[in-house]
Amino acid sequence: MKKTLITVGSLLLVILVAYGAGIGYYAEKFQANTEFATVDVSNLTLPEAQAKVEEVLLNKEITLTENGQEVGSIGLAELNPTFNTEEALTVTYNSQDPNQWLGNFFQSDEFNADLMSNVEIDQENLNQKLSELGLSNDQRQAPENAQINYSQAEGYTVSEAKDGNQLDIEALRQLILDGIQAGEEKIEINQAFLKPEVTSDDEVIGQYMEQIEQAKDTQITLQIQGEEVVIPAEKIESWIYFDANNQMVFDEAMIQEYVGELNEQYSTFLRPRTFQSTLQGEVTVEPGTLGWSIDREAEAAQIAEDLYSGQDVKRETAVVGTGYNSEGSDIGNTYVEIDIANQTMFIYKDGEQVFQTPVVTGQVGTDTIPGAYAIWDKQENAELRGYNPRTERDYVQPVDYWMPFDDTGQGIHDANWQSSFGGTTYQISGSLGCINTPPEAMATVFELVEVGTPVVVF
């Protein structure tokens, strides 16, 4: 019995000595089964553990692939790393109680430290390595943002955003570092491709398209001499663009072109007219000063203003010239008719003939120029001045009444020097182009005819 007690006591003493030796041993070492960020640092001193962790890190290498094809590999050692692992390892070391060393033989301590947060790499080295692997953006396709496009055939449409293969270099760096940290063997670099900044679903695209649709839906009805013209939506759409501040603008130069198209259809400037004459039936009257056109600048500015307001509108167009009226005829039913062949002047008011008189028109060589004109002035006791090509002399001729109607000097006036009017008088003593009128008739003509009255000469 005594022998047995001695044996047990000796065994306990050995165990105690061994346990104490273990405490002394692990007072300066990591305990058994200790992993620091997947690196086994069991039974290593702090400097030894730091050296091993750094060695493991230096041996880390990651393969880069692009769309499944290998493009190269990068090892951490190539990036000239600087390690700051001592502090994290020290915290781990101090968290272990040497008195508990025996328990670690039966369990493991795993410290999931973020190694890469304690590693600094040389960014220039990484850039150079990426460049060596051809991972620069020099030959790569940039992503394309969704865009609003215009074509005459389709109007405004949205083109979808397109992915490219240019790299977000900063994202690629982080991807590589994260991969090394996570112990990954491969990284797919298309995860670091630059993405389009604007897609077709973005709110800004929707806002622009909504503005365009609202503008297209604005109905502008132009009233032109009794006709109504609704500006087509596709025309409005073609005038839209967005300025540097992304504000919708209507191109007034293009609107002026459209007004010019309307003038080609409706304007009466420089156009022959058919006219129902008193003695000759329907005749063709050559262009003269009578006529109107839509004022391109004023009308374009008004159309743009209407579009900016976004309100439907119906209105008369802005016109320049003479003879415009909503009934569709710039001669109307109040006018002066001068029939050169019959050497007669007729005056009509509201469609009724109110006066008629024989006249003398221009002599051959100084003919009265046919055309549609309008009285633009009325003067009493006037002096007519000009040059007589037949006598090759300047002249001054006083008259009682003067009513000019074109821009070359033609007009209606009394002519007390004429011995007769009508017939063939104009062939031998015709005027220089004016309408010579009997003095006794001229006073009535002057009274009946207002400024602006059309004068039809044929």
Q: Which residues are catalytic?
A: 413, 434
Non-local (6+) Cβ contacts of 358 within 8 A are 343, 344, 345, 421, 422, 423, 438
> Which pair of structure tokens corresponds to residue 99?
């008195």
Rounded Cα distance between 55 and 44, Å, is 14
Angle, to 10 degrees, between the axis of helix 46-58 and the axis of helix 86-94?
130
Q: Count the neighbouring beta carbons within 10 Å of the beta carbon of residue 307.
A: 22
Angle, to 10 degrees, between the axis of helix 252-266 and the axis of helix 296-309?
120
Asked whether the beta carbons of 233 and 217 are under 8 A apart, the reply is: yes
Asked whether the beta carbons of 458 and 285 are under 8 A apart, the reply is: yes
Radius of gyration of the chain (CA): 51
Rounded Cα distance between 202 and 247, Å, is 17
Rounded Cα distance between 102 and 283, Å, is 127
> Which pair of structure tokens corresponds to residue 153?
């055939």
Question: Residue 443 burial by CB count (10 A; 0-12/13-18/19+): exposed, middle or buried?
Answer: middle
- CA 59 to chain CA centroid, Å, is 56
Phi/psi at 259 (5° precision) = -60, -35
* 181 beta partners: none
Q: Where do the H-state alpha helices sit in 135-249?
A: 169-182, 203-217, 233-238
Strands (E), 240-290: 240-242, 248-250, 273-276, 282-285
The number of residues in the chain equals 458
Phi/psi at 322 (5° precision) = -125, 155
